[in-house]
A = this chain, B = another copy of it.
């Protein structure tokens, strides 16, 4: 389960994972996989550029840390990012509702 279907939803996923705690890229990938019950395996070549893009547009900021001899870049949500997350969430609900109602229409209830 892993096509281009993610397109347009990565931002929401990344912002959401960072909502309650700052994380570095590698940990974000693990968090996505864990939170989605193993469904979302997002490759590093997707996540790292996306994080930089989100930083560039002001939704994240980052700082370097060294833990156990390894360099990490830790990302945290900005205020703008927090607002964007709220927007992304409601957009997702609208979107998923719309797709759902086309794809999985409920039988008309007994009259």
Residues of chain A whose beta carbon lies under 8 Å from any beta carbon of chain B: 1, 3-9, 12-13, 16-17, 32, 35-37, 39-40, 88-89, 91-105
Q: Majority SS of interface residues in chain A?
A: helix
Bound Cα distance A99, B42 (Å): 12
- A–B pairs, 26, beta carbons within 8 Å: A1-B91, A1-B94, A1-B98, A3-B8, A4-B7, A6-B8, A7-B8, A13-B102, A13-B103, A16-B102, A16-B103, A17-B102, A32-B102, A35-B101, A35-B102, A36-B102, A37-B97, A37-B98, A37-B101, A39-B95, A89-B103, A89-B104, A93-B104, A96-B96, A96-B99, A96-B100
Bound Cα distance A72, B34 (Å): 49
B9 touches A5 (CB 8 A): yes
